[in-house]
Amino acid sequence: MKELVVISGKGGTGKTSIVASFASLLTNKVMVDCDVDAANLHLLLSPKIEERHQFYSLPKAMINREKCNGCGLCEDTCRFEAIKESTVNPLGCEGCAVCSRICPENAIEMVDTVAGEWFKSNTTYGPLVHARLGAAQENSGKLVTMVRSQAAKTAKKLGYDYIITDGPPGIGCPVIASIGGASLSLIITEPSLSGIHDLERTIDLLEFFGVPAMVCVNRWDICPENTEHIKEICRKRKIPFAGKIAYDNMVMLAASRGKSVVEMNSRIIDEIIKVWEKVFEVLCPNMKL
């Protein structure tokens, strides 16, 4: 089984639109949306939800008023500043449970918290595993791990060979959870100074975790000079360049209608297909599409 994870470092470079287009170019695969904070892939793939499951984070502290004598030891001990005047702020609580262990009155209980939901769905282009982290919740990395493992299970059950993952932005916890052990990661960047800055940090991250990388420049014609600069970075860092895709208003239009680019007859379809072919060559060196 091969897993391609599409990430970007910087948000809004067009990851999701490109993943949705790839989805229409390959049959035996499962798709995963690992951007569990702000999942979007489902907006382009109109999934039918077949299973929904609750997702629990680490249990959070709750103070039993009747037992609490107000000594304040928990408040002094909590290193997350999550307890004020014998009340736990669930947004600050990381679930370390130290307060419940030191409380002399045994007044603090750790309570299970539903932090989100995850779904198994079906789409025109195949199964999709996606999730929704509750607003202001923690543990998005854990939820990412959950959806990835469910996607792998689904693929195994169906005998599918590929997983295509739409990753989260950034380089922190949810991204680390998305890339660990992936076969290949495609970075979608844009030819802006911000895009380049974030691209370099993303390449550093993939190198740190030993995940092979490729780079694709989206909206390359917004700044051809920066596009050349990105190609140069790829040459220097020995990262295969997957190609470039032009700016097209049609993408925005497709996104506003909740459709994938390939359904919209955009002029950039050929470019997306070329990128996909290059990526597939690296993902499966000995196979023909």
Closest approach of another protein to the CB of residue 208, in Å: 4
Closest approach of another protein to the CB of residue 158, in Å: 13
Which lies closer to another protein via its Cβ, residue 66 or residue 135?
Answer: 135
Between the alpha carbon of residue 288 and those of residues 242, 274, 279, the distances in Å are 17, 14, 12
Closest approach of another protein to the CB of residue 37, in Å: 4
Which lies closer to another protein via its Cβ, residue 63 or residue 163?
Answer: 163
Per the listing, tokens 């382009």 go with: 44
Closest approach of another protein to the CB of residue 5, in Å: 11
Which lies closer to another protein via its Cβ, residue 24 or residue 260?
Answer: 260
Which lies closer to another protein via its Cβ, residue 66 or residue 79?
Answer: 79
Closest approach of another protein to the CB of residue 98, in Å: 4
Which lies closer to another protein via its Cβ, residue 24 or residue 227?
Answer: 227
Which lies closer to another protein via its Cβ, residue 80 or residue 241?
Answer: 80
Closest approach of another protein to the CB of residue 45, in Å: 12
